[in-house]
Chain A
């Protein structure tokens, strides 16, 4: 299983954390013989592209979630979708945080993984971190060392 990237959106729909586990060479070389794994590997600068990715992903999950609720009732939730290139996993907390993870198409459900990230890393190292603010405007306080370390270890342990 390969995990491509991971995003957290807060309840103000802002992307407060994003991380990619793609080796830079893969995402930046469209001439790569294998089709680029990343869904949107275009030619613009990396930072701008990451920001755009986050916005696109939020738009997608937001619309999908609403559509699913409309069709299936308020209790229905969408869990993942798959394209030819990647699989997107979605987990929404009761507190309106949204966790999104992109993996390869063969990956099993990552709902549990996202839930684990939420309870074991987010709650422990961001919410219970005395040096982290309550609102994470611009991602403030999320990118702290313990959270980053824990997340990286956890994800690498899965791959």
Chain B
């Protein structure tokens, strides 16, 4: 809800700090996922049309009354089918993740400017778990685990975008919640990249409103 008390990351010494309606951001984040699906499907439909039209034999074009069967056989010859579920999922993931990546990069530039250099990767991850997480989700990550070989697992037991998410009984809430993790994934990856750590980020949820982010750093480019 709006009109809440101002949370810690706000400090009077930051002259550029300003407020934005939390609901505003919530609604934007909610709409992001269906929008990504819509765009992906539109782009797919457009590319399909582009690919099928030249394949239509000109003879068939002339007779408007041609039976449907011949038209269908014309279009099946070009082996373009509507993308399947996995392809759609990947395309949407890519779209949302890229968006988040850019946002994460910007956020780091904005909010790390008064900090000294980070000594090692763990410092960066801690900054992510505490400062950035509070900025983004108004709480810190609940649990951070690492195998000291470049894998970090962040557990948030009450991931804020999931706090109001629910469906009717048996509505596959966990499954339907998955796409809402992709943008935050991108934000995390972008933030890390901006701080000099290349990583892959994966997120999953087993029970709402919890979320688990797994960060695998790519060692060759580690600082």
Contact = CB atoms under 8 A, between A and B. Distances in A.
What 10 A-B pairs have minimum CB-CB distances, sorted nearest first? A146-B166, A144-B166, A145-B166, A130-B30, A128-B164, A129-B164, A143-B168, A144-B167, A131-B167, A131-B176
Instruction: Give chain A's interface residue range (CB within 8 Å of chain B).
Output: 10 to 19
22 contacts: A124-B164, A125-B164, A125-B166, A128-B23, A128-B26, A128-B27, A128-B30, A129-B165, A129-B166, A130-B29, A130-B30, A130-B164, A130-B180, A131-B166, A131-B171, A131-B176, A131-B177, A141-B167, A143-B168, A145-B167, A145-B168, A145-B169
Interface of B: 1, 23, 26-27, 29-30, 33, 161, 164-169, 171, 173, 176-177, 180
Q: Which applies to chain A's interface (DSSP): helix, strand, loop or mixed?
A: loop
B196 to A, nearest CB: 33
Contacts of B26: 128
A147 B173 CA distance: 14
Interface of A: 124-125, 128-131, 141, 143-147
B184 to A, nearest CB: 12
Given A131-B165, A141-B167, 4 more contacts: A128-B164, A131-B173, A146-B166, A147-B166
Contacts of A124: 1, 164
A108 to B, nearest CB: 26
A145 B33 CA distance: 22
A130 B167 contact: no
A125 B164 CA distance: 5
Contact of A130 (B1, B23, B165): B165
Contacts of B161: 130
Contacts of A145: 166-169, 173
A146 B169 CA distance: 10
Nearest to B22: A128
